[in-house]
Every structure is written in C-alpha cells, then in structure tokens.
C-alpha cells in the first residue's frame, strides 16, 4: 500500500479499534497531520464535537461517503443527519461482511 492510499481522507468510513467506542463505525470529518483524525457519527458524536483519534487506533475502510466528502469540500461543514445516513447506507451494504471478524 502506498503512502497516498494509507493516508486518511475526508468522508472515509473507519472502524474504531481502541477506546470506549471500540467496534463502532465513524466518518472522518477532519485530519490533523501527521497522526490524528477527527471522527463523528452524527448520533453520539456530533459534527461540532468530533472525537480526536490517533490513526493507529482506527481501521480505515475503502469506502468514502461521497456526499459527506462533497459537503466538507464545499462548505467545510456537514449535517449530522447526512453523517447518520451515510453510515447507515454503508452498514446496510457492507455490514454483512464485517460480522465474520
């Protein structure tokens, strides 16, 4: 994997590996180089109070929620409803593969 592929991107869905929220999914809403990302899920963790997380403590998926990425690129903000919708869509389509882990 090249460095560009491993770098976290806005709108990318990740699985939290460490901490109180371990095992849950969230969306990257900010990147603080070189080691941290800001995560939100629109439910317990709202956009205006994202969780700062070390990138070693998350497992990135290959899925980027395009509507979230577009909103962040255009306005720098995204609604909590859009975050919840994107996560629900991802889990509906990809959640079955994750259960075997």
42: phi then psi, degrees, rounded to nearest 5: 80, -5
Q: In this structure, is residue 40 part of a structural domain?
A: yes
How far is C-alpha 5 from the chain's CA centre? 15
Q: In this structure, is residue 71 part of a structural domain?
A: yes
CATH number of the domain bearing residue 18: 2.30.30.30
Lookup: tokens for 95: 């959640």
Helix axes 66-75, 80-98, angle to 10 degrees: 150
Residue 34, preceding bond cis, omega within 30 degrees? yes
Q: How many domains does the chain have?
A: 1
Supply the pLDDT for residue 101: 40
31 lies in which domain range?
A: 3-94
Query: 50-69, pLDDT tens digit by residue?
Result: 999 999 999 999 999 999 99
Q: In this structure, is residue 101 part of a structural domain?
A: no
* Better-predicted residue by pLDDT, 18 or 98: 18
């Amino acid at each position: 994997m090249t460095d560009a592929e491993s770098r976290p991107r806005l709108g990318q869905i990740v699985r939290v590996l460490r901490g109180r929220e371990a095992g849950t999914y969230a969306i990257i809403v900010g990147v603080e180089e070189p080691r941290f990302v800001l995560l939100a899920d629109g439910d317990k963790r709202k956009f205006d109070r994202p969780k700062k997380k070390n990138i070693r403590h998350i497992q990135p998926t290959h899925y980027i929620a395009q509507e979230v990425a577009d909103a962040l690129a255009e306005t720098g903000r995204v609604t909590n409803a859009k975050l919840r919708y994107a996560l629900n869509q991802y889990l509906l389509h990809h959640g079955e593969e994750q259960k075997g882990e």
